[in-house]
Amino acid sequence: MSRDVHPRLLRSFAAVAETLHFGRAAERLHLAQQAVSRDVQALERELGCALFHRSTRSVELTEVGAVLLPKARHLLELQGEILALGAARALLVDVNSPGGEREFTAELVLAAARRRCPEADLLARYCGGLTAAARELAAHRLDASFGRYAGLPAAARARLAHVPVRLEPMAVFLPPGHPLAALPAVPLAALAGHPVDVFAGQPDTAEWTDLGRRLLADHGLAAAPGRTPPVGPAEFARYLVRHGGPVLTTVLAPDVPGGVVRALVDPVPLSLVGLVHRVGDRSPGLAALRACAAELAAAEGWLRRPPGCWLPAEDAALLG
């Protein structure tokens, strides 16, 4: 019976062999340490022998492991050459939704990457939410997206790499004539008695709904019931008027006819936007996206947290 060894197992093995440390290997591969350990154990079962001597203080290659390492490197190099054959294809980048006259976080990163790597064909797509984009990434119908990585299921996160890009202050859309619209900014406590719409009826943005529910629960506030979400600015304006309540967004939200955006304060709640892509993708266009995301975040201070802000613990952990 023929047997196949998945390149992922060899990649995890090579990373551990080169670092002699499972934690550092996991960091290199943007994986959980448990995932790297499982890959190495699966490879050992497939080969029927141990590849490492493990102790509480050290990790060392066995004799078989030392023989395997150069062979694994060679196979991984060949795989890279095969994948490079497709480097000329367009890189599909989800920027959530068109920004119109204003460029938002994802569009700024994409524009910078196009300038850095003009030979790469970077094409924008509009999935509308990271939950939907994660499915497209898994199916190789998309190459990169932006959104709240911590809000994805653990199984999806294990297959995806993440670069923190920007902490966006959160806000609310308010319909014309809403009593809170007269305020220059809305204290969270002022939302008592005004159930907040967190798009609970939109499964494609489940990561955003999760963030909104966490924020409201932490401050004793209520969420509005799930409703069929609108599509497009005109329908969203009608949605605001019809339902009459605040809708959670960020201060960078696009304009909506007739509606107003008011920043939330006391404390300022934050949404961590990250660049997300498949683990192991080494295309030049993606490298440009990653570099530009990190450079813009540093140059613009996008990841600085204001005093007394609110950010879920799992999102904060991604900032190190």
* Tens digits of residue pLDDT in 40-79: 999 999 999 999 999 988 999 999 999 999 999 999 888 7
Final residue in a domain of this structure, among 84, 118, 141 = 84
pLDDT value at 101 more than 50: no
For 181, the domain range is 168-270
What string of DSSP letters covers 134-162?
A: HHHHHTTS-SEEEE-GGGS-HHHHHTEEE
What letter represents residue 136's amino acid? E
Final residue in a domain of this structure, among 84, 112, 133 = 84
Predicted confidence at residue 1, as pLDDT, reads 40
Query: Is residue 281 domain-resident?
Result: yes
pLDDT value at 102 more than 60: no
φ, ψ dihedrals at 318, nearest 5°: -75, -15
Could you tell me if 262 and 172 lie in one domain?
yes
| CATH at 120 | 3.40.190.10
| CATH at 19 | 1.10.10.10
Contact assessment for residue 309 and residue 300, using Cβ atoms and an 8 Å cutoff? no
Q: What is the mean pLDDT of residues 223-245?
A: 84
Cβ-based burial of 133 (10 A; exposed 0-12, middle 13-18, buried ≥19):
buried
What letter represents residue 69's amino acid? L
* 269 vs 171: CA distance, rounded Å: 8
Query: Is residue 319 domain-resident?
Result: no
Tokens of 247: 């809708």
* 52 vs 20: CA distance, rounded Å: 9
Could you tell me if 189 and 233 lie in one domain?
yes
pLDDT value at 88 more than 70: no
Q: What is the mean pLDDT of residues 188-206?
A: 93
Could you tell me if 179 and 160 lie in one domain?
no
Query: Is residue 118 domain-resident?
Result: yes
- The alpha helices in 22-129, defined as continuous H runs, are 22-29, 33-47, 63-84, 105-116
**Global pTM value:** 0.71
* Tens digits of residue pLDDT in 271-316: 999 999 999 888 889 999 999 999 999 999 999 999 989 999 999 9
> How many domains does the chain divide into?
3
Could you tell me if 283 and 156 lie in one domain?
yes
Query: Is residue 314 domain-resident?
Result: no
